[in-house]
Amino acid sequence: MDTSDEGRMSRLKEFLLTFFMPEKCYDHFFLHFNFMHVPCLKILSSKTMGILILVGIVIAPLPQIWKVLWSGSSNGLCITSIFLEMLAISTHAAFCYTQKFPIGAWGESLFALIQIAVLALLVQHYQGKTTKGVCFLALYCGFMFLLASPLTPVSVVWTLHEWNVLLVIAGRFFQARSNFRSGDTGQLSALSVFLVFLGSLGRIFSSLQVTGLSLSTQLHAVACCSSAVIMAQVLMYWSKSMINSKKEREVEKDKAE
């Protein structure tokens, strides 16, 4: 093996050890070729699911924000769905804050919340409701302050956190209904939808490992199915969405001229 191959193997090992497995599992898989080592398989699956969840939370909103900015349109995005998604993430962030968890344990939720808030403002802006969007975000900041303050009983925050997956399901239902009614997904980002679906899959497997086939796991499965429905709609309405997007850009171009 030449120096370049050794360098690539070294970088691959460093990547795997950093994100997916401890060194003892690396040895089992790649030195002893024991790919059926159950404890290491559990570690690998747990790490993989954690990364999928992180991708679904943190990265998924970015392609959607970029697509709205690039197209200059928020057509097809359901504002109710976005608000419910904001609320679901907010309850998780508030719960972690009130329980005094370290920021490293829930910082991705805060980052995702900021992105969803930006997306909500963009949707309102491109619908000609910029002032309304700004006022809503100001009120929402007040709501978050109240939710994370001692004025709100811990039991209320705990309950909201326990059932926030219902908010996620409701949000995806409203988006799917909007797509079905219009027969078009508009500026809905296929990449964002796919990343959210991967994150939902990760939550199912993570919940299975922690709680087994519990009600929580079943609700996560319903949320994943909701994401799958939206993903199917994106594929079904792809050609129509492309045609409508092209027409919108032509109209905007004519207005500019």
- Its sign, for the CA torsion 17, 20, 21, 25, is negative
Task: Tell me which residue of 150, 160, 154 sits closest to 92, measured CA to CA.
Answer: 160
Q: How far apart are the first and last CA of the chain?
A: 62
Q: To 10 degrees, what angle do helices 164-182 and 79-98 make?
A: 170
Tens digits of per-residue pLDDT, 11-35? 776 767 666 767 777 776 777 677 7
Q: What is the DSSP string of 143-191?
A: HHHHHHSTTS-HHHHHHHHHTHHHHHHHHHHHHHHHHHHHT--TT--HH
Confidence of residue 7 (pLDDT cuts 50, 70, 90): low
- CA atoms of 78 and 171, how far apart (whole Å): 9
Q: Is 44 helix (H, G, I), strand (E, B) or coil?
A: helix
**Cα separations (Å) of 213 from 83, 158, 219, 221?**
29, 21, 10, 10
**Cα separations (Å) of 53 from 21, 113, 189?**
17, 15, 18
pLDDT on residue 9: 62
Task: Report which of residues 184 and 39 the model is more confident about.
Answer: 184
- CA atoms of 126 and 79, how far apart (whole Å): 12
CB within 8 A of 78, min separation 6: which ones? 174, 175, 177, 178
- CA atoms of 92 and 33, how far apart (whole Å): 41
DSSP label of 20: T
User: 119: which 2 tokens?
Assistant: 């997306």
Tens digits of per-residue pLDDT, 55-102? 666 788 899 999 999 988 888 899 999 999 999 988 888 888 888 887
Unique residue bearing structure tokens 């097809």: 76
- The pTM score is 0.77
Q: Any idea which of 40-54, 91-105, 198-212 has the lowest mean pLDDT?
A: 40-54
